[in-house]
């Protein structure tokens, strides 16, 4: 990722309380030659990537665009706040929550997410009821992917109770 955090085998409080604020992350293309299948392989380059037990982190007021994969990828992490970010023109999901095996709390508020392709989602959450609050976001295009089922904003709100004060611009 353009900005990357990990706890992994480090001390459990390695990055507790970190704040990722006011960054501009653009043109994440990854390193296909550094992947197992070389230039033929996929090369993920999320704008901001929280990995392997990162916790109690705030992602605030960042601008993320033109990244290959999710704008923000949250993997095996918990107690994360994502607020006031703008994510657009990336090849993938706006915010993707992956491989969660711990008690997880996510607050996703006041973000602007533009997804141009109907095959990707504003928020993709494949691993349980992990989002405490998603609200007051502005979505332009895209859908919501919850456990592999796709929803528009109204259906997402009805199913999840999230994003009560959010708005969605129809996809062009």
Q: What is the percentage of the chain residues whose pLDDT exceeds 90?
A: 41
Q: Strand (E) positions, 9-120?
A: 19-21, 24-26, 48-51, 55-60, 63-65, 72-75, 78-83, 86-88, 95-98, 106-109, 112-114
What pTM was estimated for this model as a whole?
A: 0.88
Q: Are 70 and 94 in contact (CB under 8 A)?
A: yes
Q: Are 85 and 72 in contact (CB under 8 A)?
A: yes
Please report which confidence band the pLDDT of residue 24 belongs to, taking 50, 70 and 90 as the band edges: very high
Strand-pairing partners, residue 72, are 48, 95
User: Is 32's pLDDT higher than 70?
Assistant: no
Task: Report the pLDDT averaged over residues 2-17.
Answer: 78
User: Is 22's pLDDT higher than 90?
Assistant: yes
């Amino acid at each position: 990722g353009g900005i990357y955090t990990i706890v992994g085998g480090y001390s459990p409080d390695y990055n507790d309380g970190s704040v990722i604020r006011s960054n501009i992350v653009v043109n994440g293309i990854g390193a296909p030659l550094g992947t197992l299948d070389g230039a033929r392989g996929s090369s993920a380059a999320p704008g901001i990537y929280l990995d392997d037990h990162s916790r109690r982190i705030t992602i605030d007021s960042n601008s993320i665009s033109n990244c290959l994969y999710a704008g923000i990828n949250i993997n095996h992490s918990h107690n994360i706040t994502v607020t006031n970010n703008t994510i657009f023109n990336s090849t993938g999901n706006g915010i993707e929550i992956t491989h969660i095996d711990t008690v997880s709390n996510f607050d996703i508020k006041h973000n602007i997410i533009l997804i141009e392709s109907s095959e990707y989602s504003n928020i993709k959450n494949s691993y349980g009821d992990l989002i405490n609050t998603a609200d007051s976001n502005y979505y332009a295009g895209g859908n919501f992917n919850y456990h592999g089922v796709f929803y528009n904003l109204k259906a997402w709100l009805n199913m999840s109770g999230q994003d009560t004060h959010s708005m969605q611009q129809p996809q062009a």
